[in-house]
Homo-oligomer: A and B are copies of this chain.
Amino acid sequence: MLQTDPLSATFAALADPTRRAILARLSQGVLSVSELAEPFDMSLPAVSKHLRVLERAGLIGREREAQWRRCRIDAAPLKEVANWTERYRHLWEGRLDRLDGYLKELTGKKEAKGHGRKQQRGKQR
């Protein structure tokens, strides 16, 4: 159970509202642990524990700046989440032909990297 695949580790790290709030704050820039802890009704060690979970999942990194350690977001695992979720978009968009949508997505990825084929999807509303 401890040796989880990367996507499972990402999902597990995101399964907590405090950790998601930390990521939301870091999406605006690097912050120290104490700056990060400020808005939370939580001890520094409790915040640090959440940061360790995020760090193990690769969602944040730490950098030294003079005597402070600052945290920055690393969005690469979030991209994997988006890619994974995208496979199910045809379901919630209520496509009539689910299989057709699924196949289009698969072939679209191969054939039309960066082209307009997928532009009609998802961003309409």
Contact residues of A with B, CB < 8 Å? Answer: 4-5, 7-9, 11-12, 14-17, 20, 23-24, 27-29, 73, 75-76, 78-79, 81-82, 84-89, 91-92, 98-99, 102, 113-114, 118-119, 121-125
Contact = CB atoms under 8 A, between A and B. Distances in A.
Number of copies: 2
Contact of A86 (B20, B82, B114, B119): B82
Given A81-B81, A82-B122, A113-B125, 9 more contacts: A9-B15, A11-B12, A12-B12, A27-B87, A28-B98, A82-B82, A82-B86, A119-B124, A122-B123
A78 B82 contact: no
Contacts of A88: 23, 27, 73, 75, 78
